[in-house]
Amino acid sequence: MNINLLAVGKLKEKYWTGAVDEYAKRLSSYCKVHVVEVPDEPTPDNASAAQEEMIKKKEADKLLAKVGERDYVIALAIEGKGLTSEDFAAHLDKMALQGYSTFTFIIGGSLGLHEDVLKRANYKLSFSKFTFPHQMVRVILLEQVYRAFRIQRGEPYHK
């Protein structure tokens, strides 16, 4: 199984990269993890709605260029569905049983995801109604994927 994490922007702080690396290492027993960063587009102060839409479109084009035709795409979006860890594990397991072997998670930039990405997504997932830093979402996502594998296999994991 392959897990792709596509994200707008680059992790700069060592504590975020260290956490991402740790969960990627833990996940290596279960799957192959690929973290792909696409450059974020500069957003001018007081950008108009049209400018913001254009920026999201450019970021979407870069993200979608990295998505395989047969990937099961999960877009992280505040308007997505919230799941428990157990339900998330069951969903991934169900999709794997339906023949998906590559799961691509997409995290947008500071303006969010363009409609093109949301349309391509097979599933829209929300971790919370709160807004989190995109760097933190990467870590939370990889931790939840790791937890999902542990749940699927009946392996112990702290609650």
**Known binding positions:** 76, 108
What is the rounded CA–CA span in Å between residue 95 and residue 34?
19
Alpha helices per DSSP H over 43-112: 49-64, 85-97
Question: Per the annotation, where are the binding residues for S-adenosyl-L-methionine?
Answer: 76, 108
Which residues lie below 8 Å from residue 153, measured CB to CB, with a gap of 6+? none
57 conformational bin, left if phi > 0, alpha if psi -120 to 50, beta if neither: alpha
What is the rounded CA–CA span in Å between residue 98 and residue 54?
36
How far, CA to CA in Å, does 108 sit from each of 74, 76, 102?
12, 8, 19
